[in-house]
């Protein structure tokens, strides 16, 4: 079943989300109207004095995708998976740097070099990391407008780097209790792609494997650990990895290189989560915290499948969980376009200027529209994101591919561009 539907009254006061069937009934009886399509929200035509039930917002921040879940009385009633555009930002910054360097080399090659002409404020984050914090916070603020959220739960630390390097470190109480091993196992699953490092098999039970066997002097440091299926683990035994993979030199080089990787990825995720934690505190809502090991422990104990929004639902202390939905809203950050005044070729030279106007015939690139095409190859009804042109002959991208041409007179607006794309 899809997500519950957000409801606001005529004064835009958030009420409790309702079942899609009840929302459909309210729309049919004309007691409500569609307020927005993504996420689907209806607005009542009268004011309401209904007493709302508390709703907990749970967040599982990730490097590429952040899971979001809304819980009411231990039931998951709304979920979303927010995909960030960190790599796109990195590529754009690299392209801009190359173009600027090329231009300065052509125009100002004899200019004296600058030094220490830029300062960074306290708490500065790289643009790719800052983007994750801001987009997550954007959706927290949006959801607070449409649902009576009374508290927030955040997975603060995914990987405890000190405990990973030294599992016997004092003060890590959860490593000696019922959460023992969950932090390290979760890190190894993320590091090795949830598959056997030796044969690459997936969707099977994986065991923690010592690259250099303990009987040969191998330690329990995370740099000496990997994941292996039961057959590979038994077959390797305490043999040196060079002997075991003597006929697979490529696999040997990959494992040895990956085992020496530092914990910078874990540190980057942790720094992002701390920045998000500080921003969430500013909302004034009660904030509960949890670790990645606790999240996985809850998921295994409750028998919940691995999904980003379900991981979010398992953040913190969870005794029971009822999942009312099966289709979360898939949100992908697309940005608001570019501020470049000209388009460049692959060498960085300008080839055409951009128009100052962004909207044509009432539509803008990125709008989600419904096109009813009467004739042609793509005759029928299509819904997708629009790419506008000054001529009025547009293109649109749907879930099944590109549709072109789409004339402006056949377009009906569904959702104005807001920097994100949506899918069920």
68: Cα separation from own chain's centroid: 9
pLDDT at residue 271 tops 90: no
Q: Does residue 278 lie within any of the structural domains?
A: yes
Q: Does residue 228 lie within any of the structural domains?
A: no
Domain boundary among 303, 333, 363: 333
Predicted confidence (pLDDT) per residue in 150-160, tens digit: 999 999 865 55
Q: Does residue 4 lie within any of the structural domains?
A: yes
Q: What is the DSSP letter of 306?
A: -
pLDDT at residue 175 tops 70: no
228 has which bridge partners? Answer: 207
Length of the chain: 424
pLDDT band, residue 147 (cuts 50/70/90): very high
Q: Does residue 118 lie within any of the structural domains?
A: no
Phi, psi of 315 (to 5 degrees): -70, 140
Taking CA atoms, 410 is separated from 343, 366, 372, 376, 385, in Å, by 29, 17, 6, 13, 14
Phi, psi of 190 (to 5 degrees): -70, -40
pLDDT at residue 211 tops 50: yes
Residues 74 and 175 in one domain: yes
Distance CA(409)–CA(253), nearest Å, equals 59
CB 273 within 8 A of CB 20: no
CATH number at residue 143: 3.30.420
pLDDT of residue 174: 41
Residues 21 and 47 in one domain: yes
**Range with the largest mean pLDDT of 66-70, 158-162, 254-258, 343-347:** 66-70
Residues 408 and 375 in one domain: yes
Phi, psi of 306 (to 5 degrees): -80, 105
Residues 157 and 296 in one domain: yes
- Among residues 336, 416, 418, 375, which one has the least CA distance to residue 407? 375
CB 424 within 8 A of CB 326: no
Residues 6 and 145 in one domain: no
Residue indicated by tokens 């914090």 = 133
Residues 379 and 272 in one domain: no
Tokens describing residue 229: 């299926």
Residues 94 and 155 in one domain: yes
Domain boundary among 14, 35, 52: 52
pLDDT of residue 179: 53
Q: Count the alpha carbons within 13 Å of 354 in the hemisphere toward its beta carbon.
A: 13
CB 379 within 8 A of CB 373: yes
pLDDT of residue 162: 52
Helix, strand or coil, per DSSP, at residue 14: strand
Range of the domain at 185: 53-100+125-191+263-333
Q: Does residue 83 lie within any of the structural domains?
A: yes
396 has which bridge partners? Answer: 386, 403
Q: Does residue 218 lie within any of the structural domains?
A: no
384 has which bridge partners? Answer: 369
pLDDT at residue 333 tops 60: yes
pLDDT of residue 87: 85
Residues 155 and 133 in one domain: yes
Tokens describing residue 94: 């690299």
pLDDT band, residue 173 (cuts 50/70/90): very low
CATH number at residue 375: 2.30.30
Domain boundary among 333, 355, 381: 333
Residues 359 and 316 in one domain: no
Residues 367 and 416 in one domain: yes
pLDDT at residue 122 tops 80: yes
* Helix, strand, coil % in the chain, rounded to nearest 5: 30, 30, 40
Give the percent of the chain with pLDDT over 90: 48
Taking CA atoms, 193 is separated from 62, 304, 314, in Å, by 15, 20, 21
∠197-86-308 over CA atoms, to 5°? 60
Residues 384 and 313 in one domain: no
Predicted confidence (pLDDT) per residue in 222-267, tens digit: 788 899 999 999 999 989 898 899 888 888 888 888 876 656 556 6
pLDDT of residue 224: 87
Q: Does residue 315 lie within any of the structural domains?
A: yes
Taking CA atoms, 180 is separated from 167, 266, 376, in Å, by 9, 19, 63
Instruction: State the CB neighbour count (10 A cutoff) for residue 184.
Output: 20
Tokens describing residue 335: 């940005």
Q: What is the DSSP letter of 391?
A: T
Q: Does residue 254 lie within any of the structural domains?
A: no
Number of domains in the chain: 3
CB 74 within 8 A of CB 321: yes
Predicted confidence (pLDDT) per residue in 26-44, tens digit: 999 999 999 999 999 999 9
Residues 305 and 416 in one domain: no
pLDDT at residue 83 tops 90: yes
């Amino acid at each position: 079943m899809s997500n519950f539907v957000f409801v606001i009254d005529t004064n835009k006061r958030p009420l409790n989300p309702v079942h899609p069937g009840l929302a459909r009934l309210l729309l049919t009886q004309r007691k409500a109207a569609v307020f927005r399509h993504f996420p689907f929200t209806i607005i009542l035509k009268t004011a309401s004095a209904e007493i709302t039930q508390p709703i907990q917002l749970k967040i599982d921040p990730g490097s590429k995708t952040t899971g979001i879940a809304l819980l009411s009385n231990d039931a998951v009633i709304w979920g979303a998976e927010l995909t960030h555009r960190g790599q796109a930002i990195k590529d754009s910054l690299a392209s801009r740097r190359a173009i600027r360097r090329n231009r300065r080399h052509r125009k100002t090659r004899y200019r004296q070099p600058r030094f220490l002409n830029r300062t960074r404020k306290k708490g500065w984050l790289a643009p790719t990391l800052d983007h994750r914090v801001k987009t997550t916070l954007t959706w927290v603020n949006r959801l607070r407008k449409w649902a009576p959220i009374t508290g927030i739960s955040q997975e603060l630390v995914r990987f405890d780097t000190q405990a990973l390097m030294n599992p016997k470190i004092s003060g890590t109480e959860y490593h000696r209790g019922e959460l023992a091993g969950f932090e390290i196992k979760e890190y190894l699953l993320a590091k090795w792609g949830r598959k056997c490092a030796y044969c690459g098999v997936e969707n099977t039970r994986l065991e923690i494997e010592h690259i250099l066997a303990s009987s040969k002097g191998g330690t329990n440091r995370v740099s000496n650990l990997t994941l292996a299926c039961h057959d590979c683990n038994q077959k390797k035994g305490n043999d040196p990895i060079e002997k075991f993979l003597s006929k697979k030199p490529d696999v040997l080089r990959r494992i040895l290189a990956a085992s020496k990787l530092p914990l910078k990825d874990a540190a980057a995720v942790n720094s992002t989560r701390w920045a998000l934690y500080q921003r969430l505190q500013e909302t004034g809502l009660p904030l509960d915290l949890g670790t990645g090991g606790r999240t996985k422990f809850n998921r295994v104990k409750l028998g919940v499948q691995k999904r980003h929004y379900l991981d979010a639902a398992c953040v913190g202390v969870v005794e029971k969980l009822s999942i009312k939905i099966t289709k979360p809203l898939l949100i992908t950050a697309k940005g608001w376009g570019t501020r470049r005044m000209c388009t460049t070729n692959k060498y960085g030279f300008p080839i055409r200027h951009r128009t100052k106007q962004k909207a044509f015939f009432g539509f803008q690139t990125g709008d989600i529209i419904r096109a009813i095409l009467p004739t042609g190859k793509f005759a029928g009804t299509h819904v997708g994101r629009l790419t506008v042109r000054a001529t009025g002959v547009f293109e649109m991208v749907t879930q099944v591919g590109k549709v072109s041409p789409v004339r402006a007179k056949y377009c009906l607006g569904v959702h104005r561009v807001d920097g994100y794309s949506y899918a069920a």
